[in-house]
Structure 1
């Protein structure tokens, strides 16, 4: 599947754009802060029903405007077209439609248009808290397993209700809190097994990409850590109920899961250089791409590469260019501040591509711009 056309109205700093894309490579060149990332974010929104940034839906509306609208035309492998639209006015809920039919539940759309975003903010996977690493697992698994989102929603609802009871002045009703713990344990075990299976399959793919980009200079691994590994989750949750009551929230459960990221035998957040950290997260995202492609019978996700070459030495840039320029990848959207990396990708290749220049939210297609020899 690929995005053939995109119409944008009042999305962040982009007031209006009508764009037609290459099936293979679409490059957006411009200075920092001019709107390149916002364009990729609009593409992301049409896959996930939300922005990739930590903004509310209304926060995506351009300053001074009363609404935003996104309209994407997608072509699948059979040549059929799907139209995905999203619009929102200030003070109202957003409307998300597939072929003019509005979704009753937005979760039903997740996974229809598989997509992987690689951006500078991905370093938060290493530097941030465990919630960032859980979100990484959730975003990928939800794109191929609809039951995962349902289990996660049920777990989070039970967790929220249990936490409310733990914070209350009155002693919790033993029967009610017991039922909530059973719900957390049942759904938590489902989520744990799906996460565990995903990480086991992802890790060798991740290691292969890291090995290629670093030219075998370092070894890396991932280690999934969960309270479910301590025994039946219901027992783990219940045994510390009194301690949970004292602090006012649930100390145990899959909402505390983490993903240890190691280089050699040590945490990369402590040992890794800037270049190693960036190589780590890029390899991780490319592994997610390969995983989704494999599990979906070779349907290639859309790949968004936002300013990925900064802080990498020339040899690592060259290896990334070689990988993403290969036949294994489908449609790619790439942003950068200059032409150097783009020219490396396209020089001597036969890739179909389109080149766009971005300035102050205005996106211009340069049909006659040729790659330097």
Structure 2
């Protein structure tokens, strides 16, 4: 699968551009702040129906304007599809495939998968459990539409239950029948989510471990531990007994929305004991496993987006990653780098052809093998 053409209108810092891409390696180069990452984000939008960096759609409109649109032609297994996203302030975001609008955005997720590696991925390691849940949920949602539906419904009932808990505290009256209705749904959907997460992490970890060993030359042992109270035999009983506490807290304090994934190196928390290089390697291996598990499930290679990936990796780990590109492990790839010569040198050393796009304040010039094309 690959993108043949991408068109942006009033998206972030781009007024209006249309770009044609190579099926293989596309390098977006230019100083920081010129809009390299915004092109990757537009591709992410068309895959996952949202920005990777700013979830507020109105803040992705070019300054001073009121509407943006993104459109691309995807080629997958010999079939072409036009995917478009449009948003106007004060209206609902619209997504279309071949000019037919989706009734629900969730219907689109997983059709044109991408894997993005970006500097803010370090939050998966450094921040709290919510970030890690979102990270792994994003992978599962691209893999499994039923999981996505269960997660959406679970979160809907969770919001409704939390809203009811706040109302009961305010009024001083508890509607137990309503609470039990929410509880039955949360327990049922929560159990399905827990079981799918447990099944997923076993297969995913084996892929992750292999990629980490390749990138690090087997220098460290790493582990991912999925932690959930939902797996306890007494969970349902404890959940029901917890209502008094939930009323006091005005929120649901037990369930899969509290799950965590413990990231470990040499038996210790990666967050505290991993070096910058080890943390970056861990993240790259997480994304490589993401790529491989999607490829195995879908039967084709997702698009790989590498945003500023060469920073914080030593030369050996960079070359290991680029060798995977040379071995055609991946399909279409997008690489951003503020240091054009560094990228050219790395690709040249391994004899990898690439198309370069020189970006300067929303203006893009295409150059193949360093020679500018008009």
1:100 alignment counterpart: 99
Partner Cα distance (1:327, 1:366) in 2? 22
User: Is this contact kept in 2: 1:213–1:320, CA < 8 A?
Assistant: yes
Secondary structure (helix, strand or coil) at the match of 1:333 reads strand
Listed as ranges, the matches of 1:72-83 within 5 Å are 72-77=72-77, 79-83=78-82
Q: RMSD over aligned Cα, in angstroms?
A: 1.6
2:320 alignment counterpart: 319
TM-superposed deviation, 1:309: 1.2
Between 201-210 and 87-96, the greater mean CA deviation after superposition: 87-96
Partner Cα distance (2:193, 2:94) in 1? 29
TM-superposed deviation, 1:337: 1.1
Please tell me whether residue 227 in structure 1 is matched to residue 229 in structure 2: yes
User: Is this contact kept in 1: 2:54–2:60, CA < 8 A?
Assistant: no
Q: Report the CA distance shift for 1:221/1:324 in structure 2 as closer, same or farther (over 3 A).
A: farther
- 1:272 is aligned, of 250, 258, 274, to 274
Please tell me whether residue 42 in structure 1 is matched to residue 42 in structure 2: yes
**Deviation digits for residues 167-207 of structure 1, max 9, x if unmatched?**
22223212221121110000001111111111111111111
Secondary structure (helix, strand or coil) at the match of 1:142 reads helix
Q: Which runs of 4+ in 1 moved over 3 A?
A: 348-352
Secondary structure (helix, strand or coil) at the match of 1:366 reads strand
User: Is this contact kept in 2: 1:189–1:233, CA < 8 A?
Assistant: no
Please tell me whether residue 33 in structure 1 is matched to residue 33 in structure 2: yes
User: Is this contact kept in 2: 1:321–1:344, CA < 8 A?
Assistant: no
2:334 alignment counterpart: 333
Secondary structure (helix, strand or coil) at the match of 2:187 reads helix
Listed as ranges, the matches of 1:340-355 within 5 Å are 340-347=341-348, 349=350, 351-355=352-356
- Ranges in structure 1 where 5+ consecutive residues have no aligned partner: none
Secondary structure (helix, strand or coil) at the match of 2:142 reads coil
**Deviation digits for residues 294-346 of structure 1, max 9, x if unmatched?**
1223x111000000111121111111111233222111011011134423443
Partner Cα distance (1:288, 1:185) in 2? 28
1:152 alignment counterpart: 151
TM-superposed deviation, 1:66: 2.3
- 2:289 is aligned, of 287, 290, 294, to 287
Secondary structure (helix, strand or coil) at the match of 1:327 reads coil
Secondary structure (helix, strand or coil) at the match of 1:251 reads coil
TM-superposed deviation, 1:13: 0.6
Secondary structure (helix, strand or coil) at the match of 2:143 reads coil
**Deviation digits for residues 235-275 of structure 1, max 9, x if unmatched?**
23212111111111111000001000000100000101111
Between 84-93 and 98-107, the greater mean CA deviation after superposition: 84-93
1:68 alignment counterpart: 68
Please tell me whether residue 51 in structure 1 is matched to residue 51 in structure 2: yes
Secondary structure (helix, strand or coil) at the match of 1:282 reads helix
What count of residue pairs does the alignment treat as equivalent? Answer: 369
Between 188-197 and 237-246, the greater mean CA deviation after superposition: 237-246
TM-superposed deviation, 1:349: 4.8
User: Is this contact kept in 1: 2:30–2:340, CA < 8 A?
Assistant: no
Q: Report the CA distance shift for 1:220/1:75 in structure 2 as closer, same or farther (over 3 A).
A: same
Q: Report the CA distance shift for 1:122/1:11 in structure 2 as closer, same or farther (over 3 A).
A: same
**Deviation digits for residues 34-62 of structure 1, max 9, x if unmatched?**
10111100000000111111341111110
Partner Cα distance (1:350, 1:231) in 2? 56
1:130 alignment counterpart: 129
Secondary structure (helix, strand or coil) at the match of 1:218 reads coil
1:110 alignment counterpart: 109
User: Is this contact kept in 2: 1:24–1:351, CA < 8 A?
Assistant: no
- 1:193 is aligned, of 192, 195, 212, to 195
2:90 alignment counterpart: 91
Compute the TM-score of the two structures, normalised by the length of structure 2.
0.95
